[in-house]
Amino acid sequence: MATETGEAKKTKPTEAEGSETKKTEVVKKSKVESSIQTWKKKNWYPIISEKLFENNVLGETPLEEWKKVSGRIINVNMMTITGEMKRQHINIIYKITNFKDKKLYATPMGYKISSAYLKRIVRRGRNRIDDSFLVKTIDNKVMRIKTIAVTRTLTKRSLRSKLKRILVYETAELAKTVDFFRFLEEVLRYRYQLTIGGMLNKIRPIKQVEVKLLELVDIDPKLVPNYSFKDIRELQEKYRKPREERQEERPRVHEQKTEAKESNTESVAEPTAKKEVPVQE
C-alpha cells in the first residue's frame, strides 16, 4: 500500500486542460497586440479653445477617427489656461465641436468651482444665501446658475429672502442684455460677482458673492420665468438711509469723545483749591 505523506500529491494536467490554458494565453497575446496596433494608428492632436481664450491650447488627445471624439465633454482647470494659481479652484466645461487643420476645437459650455473652496469662504457668525435658477440670454440660450452669497454678520431670514430676490432679479436683467459667451466671460473675469455684491451691499454688508455652477440647459426659452421685483429701489433706499445717517453721526461722536477727554485732562491738570479752616482763638 502507498504510504500517505503531508505533501499534496502532484497531479499531471490532462490534455483538455492543457489545450484550454494554451488558448487563453493566445487570446491574451492577440488582445495586447491589437491594442498596440490601434495605439500605433492613433495620432496626438491639440485641443484649441474657441469663443473664450481663443487660440489657447487646452491639451492633447489621441485620435484615430474624428467621429469618436465629436461631442466629448472635457473639464479644464483655469490655472492651466491663464497660469494663475488663484484660479485653480475654477473648472471650465468644454465640448469638442470641430476638427480642422489637424486641430480639435472646443467650445465652452459652462463653469463650476470646487466644493473645498466654498467651505473656506463660509465661517461662523455669517449666513450663506444659496439659490439655483434659470435665466435667458439675448441669443435665446437658457442657463442654469447656482449662486452663493456670504454675509459679514448674522442676518434675519426675511432680509435674506429679499437679498435672494434681488440677486435673481439683477442676474436675469443682466443676462437679457448679453449673449451666453459674454456672460460667461463676465463671470470668469469676476465682474458679475462684484456688480451683484455691490448691489446687495447697499442693503446688508456682503463679504463675497460666488457662482457655484453655470451651465447651458436644453429647455425652451419660453419656459423661463420672468422675475419681477418692483420694490427693489425702495428697499435699497430704505436700508441705505440709516447707514448714511450713521456715517454722518460718526464725526459727531468722535468730537464728543475728544471734548470729554479734553475736559478730563483739564480737571486733572488744575489743582484743587484747599478749603480754609477757621482758627479758633
Given 111, 127, 162, which residue is the final one in a domain? 111
Strands (E), the chain: 43-49, 57-63, 73-77, 90-100, 103-113, 128-136, 142-151, 206-217
Q: Are residues 94 and 129 in the same domain?
A: no
Contacts of range 55-63, beta carbons closer than 8 Å, 24 or more positions apart: 56/81, 58/94, 58/106, 61/104, 63/104
Q: Are residues 137 and 227 in the same domain?
A: yes
Structure confidence by residue, pLDDT tens digits, 211-220: 999 999 999 9
Classify 89 as helix, strand or coil: coil
Q: Are residues 99 and 128 in the same domain?
A: no
Q: Is residue 224 part of a domain?
A: yes
Q: Is residue 266 part of a domain?
A: no
Classify 74 as helix, strand or coil: strand
Q: Are residues 79 and 133 in the same domain?
A: no
Instruction: Please say whether the beta carbons of 108 and 94 come within 8 A.
Output: yes
Given 90, 111, 132, which residue is the final one in a domain? 111
Q: Is residue 153 part of a domain?
A: yes
Q: Is residue 126 part of a domain?
A: yes
Structural domain span for residue 203: 114-242
Q: Is residue 31 part of a domain?
A: no
Q: Are residues 47 and 150 in the same domain?
A: no
Q: Is residue 192 part of a domain?
A: yes
Q: Are residues 82 and 124 in the same domain?
A: no
What whole-number percentage of the chain has pLDDT above 70? Answer: 67
What is the arithmetic mean of pLDDT over 183-201? 93
Instruction: Please say whether the beta carbons of 215 and 73 come within 8 A.
Output: no
Q: Are residues 74 and 123 in the same domain?
A: no
Indicate the number of domains in the chain. Answer: 2
Q: Are residues 123 and 196 in the same domain?
A: yes
On average, the pLDDT of the chain sits at 80
Q: Are residues 217 and 98 in the same domain?
A: no
Structure confidence by residue, pLDDT tens digits, 236-261: 666 665 555 656 655 554 566 666 66
pLDDT of residue 150: 95
Given 86, 111, 136, which residue is the final one in a domain? 111
Q: Are residues 140 and 167 in the same domain?
A: yes
Q: Are residues 199 and 138 in the same domain?
A: yes
Type of residue found at 214: L
pLDDT of residue 107: 93
Q: Are residues 107 and 144 in the same domain?
A: no
Q: Is residue 14 part of a domain?
A: no
Structure confidence by residue, pLDDT tens digits, 160-171: 998 999 999 999
Confidence of residue 1 (pLDDT cuts 50, 70, 90): very low
Q: Is residue 279 part of a domain?
A: no
